Structure 1
């Protein structure tokens, strides 16, 4: 019968089993003030966080997904660096006590008397006092996500495509999260101190960010439209053959769904919203393919523009926020077409 009580373990570590020369040690991983603790992908090394209560309710043989790269492995492989250091400290303290016990067992019963011809060996053990386990001080969460499928709460620190438990996220969830991320970036830039804003504005960071937002908005709608169409239309590939990147072209995309038997999203969104979307798409085309230089194709799409051919298009924060709102409405309409 093994006696684990003869070993001293630090707060947060407990010996829970023993078989032969092996000891099973449970080491706690403290959660932050919001109830979340860290996970780190063994493939891409990026970190995310999961709600501790939700995690405890999951099965012991859980296989986790990296929310960023989609690596899929045993949940124990997703320990963070700080968590691993905590476990190593506990294992090291147990190891020191096992070694000490080994010496005590080896010398127990040996004579300590003097010998004229032999060597006298003595060993005196000393009480072992474990060191406190290292604390966990990892990056705090910013915004909590809740998976629509399994309801697990988690937090990420970058663009992600997977739920840590369910795997691949629905295309609509990815789209709405991406649009919210672009809005958050605009908010973050606006919230900078005046001095920092002035430096970034002078270096063109704001302008570049606004152009990126317009390009991102179009990309989000393109990805969602493609995913929705391919999932809902049995002969999608045949219908798409020869049409090029049809999901980058607003009217062609809408007509594609109509031809497949679905409602036309244009009347639902309204003429004004659809025209604004057309202007966003035209701005994206100019910025992406013509370095922002206005051409006749742009002026045809945006007849109310005061720009002239050859001028460089100016994108503003107002344009971006309007584009995000309009794209959100379009994504919602696309997602509801086949639901």
Structure 2
């Protein structure tokens, strides 16, 4: 017997529908505007905003929605089964009412009321995103890399999310150090926070080089090696040759000098554990260190690098 039980899933107060990635290694939860889910999103292809998993639209129910649907189906089945039992034995009891040899009595089950309540939604979230390509509106906690409707990977959104995360991490190091000191000890907390601060240089450079590569491809149709944009002069020349504007169009000469210095420091931190060698001195012109010393990253320098890169990225976006 095939039975269809209509079930209604409500959106949150902003009109967004709860969804969850079916990839067991991801299970990322997100929301899609209900109207866009119905009008724009394909039945055959939905993309996870975090991992990029592609699956049909009926694969994206959250665990809470599936549990609610299971409960509704179970209640319907229990109600239906008891009703059928009442019919069968009630009829049998009536048929033997005047039989002097066999008499069957049947006490009817307590009626069960089947209530098909709509399935609710989680509270609305703060981060709402509109796809630059197809206009689909969706909401996430944390970061998103793909549009759930068309799968478009927005270099600008990914970059902005990355920079915001790095900025908050750097600004929160003192609070994190206090928490880590309570959990471990002062020495461990200091080492962990210093490592996070040093790694912030690499995180900023990685975010920028991917952003710059994607933006240059959008402008020129040419895909350059992502590592080319680790080299400030080379990346600037690419944009200058294609658009007439290099990095100097958006940064002051002093900001460009500091950007190059920070990029060189990032390189020596990642590839030589921060120990200064002659090649670093020759490439950077850094007079603050001698060969054999170790680079010390300051919070103000990390925030300065973030400010410079945000300013430059805003300028690059105007070239498109």
TM-score category of the 2 structures, normalised to the smaller one: 0.7 to 0.9
Q: Distance in 2 between matches of 1:206 and 1:212?
A: 10
Q: Which moved more, 1:51-60 or 1:130-139?
A: 130-139
Partner SS state of residue 168, structure 1: coil
CA deviations 1:308-330 (Å, max 9, x no partner) are 21122111221221111111122
Secondary structure at 2:274's aligned position in 1? coil
Q: Which moved more, 1:216-225 or 1:59-68?
A: 59-68
Q: Is the 8 A contact 1:39 1:78 kept in 2?
A: yes
How many matched pairs? 312
Within a 5 Å distance, the mapping from 1:135-154 to structure 2 comes to 141=125, 143-154=127-138
Could you tell me how far 1:154 is from its partner in structure 2? 3.2
CA contact (8 A) 2:133 2:152 kept: no
Distance 1:152 1:185, change over 3 A: farther
Where does residue 140 of structure 2 map in the other structure? 156
Residue 275 of structure 1 and its aligned partner are, at CA, apart by 1.0
Q: Which range moves more in the overlay, 216-225 or 51-60? A: 51-60
Residues 1:77 and 2:59 are matched in the alignment = yes
Describe the superposition over 1:82-113 as per-residue Cα deviations: whole angstroms up to 9, x where unpaired.
11111111111011011112212323421345
Aligned alpha-carbon RMSD (Å): 3.3
- Distance in 2, matches of 1:133 and 1:205, equals 50
Q: Deviations over 1:250-300 (max 9, x none)?
A: 101112233345422224312111111101111110111101111223333
Q: Which residue of 2 aligns with 1:25?
A: 6
**Match status 1:202 vs 2:182:** no
1:4 equivalent in structure 2: none
Q: Does 1:171 align with 2:155?
A: yes
Partner of residue 321, structure 1: 303
Residue 309 of structure 1 aligns to a residue in which SS?
Answer: coil
Give the distance between the partners of 2:304 and 2:233, measured in 1 at CA.
Answer: 19
Partner in structure 1 of residue 213 of structure 2: 226
Check whether the contact 1:48–1:155 (CA below 8 A) recurs between aligned residues.
Answer: no
Relative distance call for 1:84 and 1:190 in structure 2 (3 A) is farther
Corresponding residue for 2:18?
Answer: 38
The structure where strand makes up a greater share of residues is 1
Q: How many angstroms apart in 1 are the aligned matches of 2:118 and 2:257?
A: 58
Q: Higher helix proportion, which one? A: 2
Does structure 1 retain, via aligned residues, the 8 Å contact 2:155–2:211?
yes
Equivalents in 2 of 1:267, 1:72: separation in Å? 41
Cα distance between partner residues in 2 of 1:81 and 1:224: 35
Are 2:247 and 1:265 aligned?
Answer: yes
- C-alpha separation in 1, matches of 2:41 and 2:155: 29
Q: Closer, same or farther in 2 for the Cα pair 1:134/1:187, shift >3 Å? A: farther
User: What is the CA distance between 1:249 and its match in structure 2?
Assistant: 0.9
The SS at the match of 2:290 is coil
Q: 1:106 to 1:167 in 2, by over 3 A?
A: same
